Amino acid sequence: MHANLPNTYQYIIAGGGMAGLSLAFYLNQSTLKNQSILIIDREIKSANDHTWCFWEQGRGTFEEIIYRQWNGLWFYGHQDFAQFLAIEEYAYKMLRGEDFYQFVIPLLKQNPNITFLQADVLAIKSENNVAEVQTNQGLFMAEQWVFDSVSVSKFNQPNYHNMLQHFKGWVIESDKPSFQPAQPTLFDFRIEQQNECRFVYVLPHSETKALIEFTIFSDNLLKDEDYDVQLKQYIREVLKIESYRIEEVEKGVIPMSDEPQLISPMPKVMRIGTAGGYVKASTGYSFQRTQRFLQRLVKDLEQPQNLKTLGNFGTSTWKALLDSVLLNVMLHKRMPADEIFTSLFKHNRPADVLKFLDEDTSFWQDIALMQSVPSIPFMLGAKGVLLSKLY
Ligand SMILES: Cc1cc2nc3c(=O)[nH]c(=O)nc-3n(C[C@H](O)[C@H](O)[C@H](O)COP(=O)(O)OP(=O)(O)OC[C@H]3O[C@@H](n4cnc5c(N)ncnc54)[C@H](O)[C@@H]3O)c2cc1C
């Protein structure tokens, strides 16, 4: 037992990363802010370990700590398609991990009902309707819920579509002005595709500083130095920058999977964040979905009559099918991904594509959007998905 801490709380949040801290943030703004909450993470969160980007209409929850935002994005696609796309009602926003932690954690620490514990979570169990978290600092019990963002699935079940979005990015400072601060690049497919989906994005901080990230959607990772080779080559050959310093490095792997996640694997335990399947399967984006899902979760927690459907706010069957088909087309290489994304952004209003990726479009808008991509690969993809569900 941890010497200085009580062993029972109303809520325990296992993993105080993006989802865990966001949940605590919304609980702290709700009528539940007087409940005792324990947040357990193995790290003291302060490093700039993530750069979260997302699109949003109007001002959002974390507006005051948004680092940069843009109202248009460069797209360099298939067959020399190159266009600066106005995203109209949306802004593409960048939030740095360190700013998020420095904003949220001190705010939560002002609430005497919220306790932080730096510890390794070893196991999460539920016995006699009490959920327990076993850590290397002792055992803690939750009377209401344990919210678990540490038990991430392996995403390797057969009969599902499991891809990885893996990337490495550098924040570089160039000797000479090299970037247009108002003009980020969302997709640059002008790199060797190697029969995968490969692109670079460039998010400028200033005329001399930008985050440049080399990204792949595939089912296998590269060696660390291979990402570096690609970054160096892009900076030299596409951006034509000769002299620069690497100021920060970001690396990550995000599951892109249609494998269903067990939201509540045992009584009084609910998975959230990547562990709860919050990542949008076909894009790997999850920051905004996590905010939306957790705001709703806290509203439902405030209303005990909603407890039956608690946590079940995922994707509709139709939207999940669209994700699976896109994953199937990419995994089985039915059509090069640069051609798919080029078709989508070339033939539709860019803001509608963002709305579609956010699952905010109607069935008929989805059908209209799908008509802008070649039908045969997607029909084969749909057939592949249906067959995988049958066998
Ligand atoms: C580098 C990177 C960049 C990303 N960029 C974007 C983006 O631009 N836009 C977007 O929408 N999505 C992005 N994502 C995807 C997603 O938004 C992030 O992965 C997000 O951090 C997921 O939130 P989470 O709370 O599930 O996981 P995390 O934020 O990783 O939080 C999990 C926490 O659990 C802790 N932990 C894990 N295991 C244990 C244990 N056994 N004991 C104690 N603590 C433990 C970790 O220290 C961590 O703090 C990115 C992902 C990565 C990796």
244 shares its domain with 270: no
Residue 86 has pLDDT above 80, yes or no: yes
Q: How much is the pLDDT for 158?
A: 86
**What tokens were used for 156?**
């390797």
Residue 125 has pLDDT above 90, yes or no: yes
208 shares its domain with 240: yes
Residue 57 lies in a domain: no
Domains in the chain, number: 3
Mean pLDDT along residues 223-238: 98
Q: How much is the pLDDT for 349?
A: 96
Lowest-confidence region among 214-218, 299-303, 304-308, 313-317: 304-308
Question: For a substitution probing ligand 1, which of 23, 48, 50 has the most ligand atoms within 8 Å of its CB?
Answer: 50
**What tokens were used for 59?**
């001002």
Which CATH number goes with the domain that contains 237? Answer: 3.30.9.10
CB within 8 Å of 212: residues ≥ 6 apart: 169, 170, 171, 172, 200, 201, 202, 231, 234, 235, 239
- Cα of 175 to ligand 1 centre, how many Å? 33
- Cα of 48 to ligand 1 centre, how many Å? 12
Lowest-confidence region among 81-90, 267-276, 310-319, 337-346: 310-319
Q: How much is the pLDDT for 308?
A: 61
126 shares its domain with 187: no
Residue 234 lies in a domain: yes
Residue 86 lies in a domain: no
18 shares its domain with 132: yes
- Cα of 17 to ligand 1 centre, how many Å? 6
176 shares its domain with 235: yes
Residue 227 lies in a domain: yes
Is 38's C-beta closer than 6 angstroms to any atom of ligand 1?
no
- Residue whose structure tokens are 């702290």: 28
- Between 287-302 and 18-28, two packed helices, what is the crossing angle to 10 degrees? 40
Residue 90 has pLDDT above 70, yes or no: yes
The residue nearest atom 49 of ligand 1, judged by CA position, is: 17
Residue 64 has pLDDT above 60, yes or no: yes
176 shares its domain with 239: yes
Closest atom of ligand 1 to CA, residue 289:
11
pLDDT, tens digit (0-9, with 9 covering 90-100), for 170-216:
999 999 999 999 999 999 999 999 999 999 999 999 999 999 999 99
Residue 225 has pLDDT above 70, yes or no: yes
184 shares its domain with 139: no
Lowest-confidence region among 13-17, 109-113, 246-250, 385-389: 385-389
262 shares its domain with 139: yes
The CA–CA distances, whole Å, from 279 to 12, 104, 234 equal: 22, 22, 28
Residue 83 lies in a domain: no
Is 55's C-beta closer than 6 angstroms to any atom of ligand 1?
no
145 shares its domain with 174: no
Q: How much is the pLDDT for 260?
A: 87
Q: How much is the pLDDT for 307?
A: 65
Mean pLDDT along residues 132-152: 97
- What percent of the chain is predicted at pLDDT more than 70? 97
Domain end call among 219, 235, 254: 254
CB within 8 Å of 228: residues ≥ 6 apart: 168
Q: How much is the pLDDT for 314?
A: 65
Other CB atoms within a 10 A radius of the CB of residue 271 amount to 27
**What tokens were used for 354?**
């963002």
Which has the higher per-residue pLDDT, 127 or 84?
Answer: 84
Q: How much is the pLDDT for 123?
A: 98
Distance of CA 188 to the CA centre of its chain: 20
- Cα of 95 to ligand 1 centre, how many Å? 14
Domain membership of residue 101 as a residue range: 8-49+95-154+258-309
- Cα of 140 to ligand 1 centre, how many Å? 23
Mean pLDDT along residues 305-330: 83
Residue 25 lies in a domain: yes
Residue 3 lies in a domain: no
Is 250's C-beta closer than 6 angstroms to any atom of ligand 1?
yes
Give SS3 for 209.
Answer: strand
Residue 90 lies in a domain: no
Domain end call among 275, 290, 309: 309
The residue nearest atom 7 of ligand 1, judged by CA position, is: 52
Is 248's C-beta closer than 6 angstroms to any atom of ligand 1?
no
37 shares its domain with 186: no
Task: Return the ∠ at Cα 290 (arms to 303 and 146), rounded to 5°.
Answer: 55
**What tokens were used for 301?**
């927690």
Q: How much is the pLDDT for 59?
A: 97
194 dihedral zone (left: phi>0; alpha: psi -120 to 50; beta): left
> How confident is the prediction for the chain on average, in pLDDT?
94
Closest atom of ligand 1 to CA, residue 97:
21
Residue 1 has pLDDT above 60, yes or no: no
- Residue whose structure tokens are 């290489």: 333
Mean pLDDT along residues 246-275: 94
279 shares its domain with 326: no
341 dihedral zone (left: phi>0; alpha: psi -120 to 50; beta): alpha
Q: How much is the pLDDT for 306?
A: 65
Residue 92 has pLDDT above 80, yes or no: yes
Q: How much is the pLDDT for 324?
A: 95
Fill in the DSSP letter of residue 266: B
pLDDT, tens digit (0-9, with 9 covering 90-100), for 23-41:
999 999 999 999 999 999 9
Which CATH number goes with the domain that contains 271? Answer: 3.50.50.60
Edge-to-edge strand list for the sheet holding 197-204: 82-86, 72-76, 185-188, 197-204, 209-218, 162-174, 244-257
Domain end call among 309, 333, 349: 309
377 shares its domain with 233: no
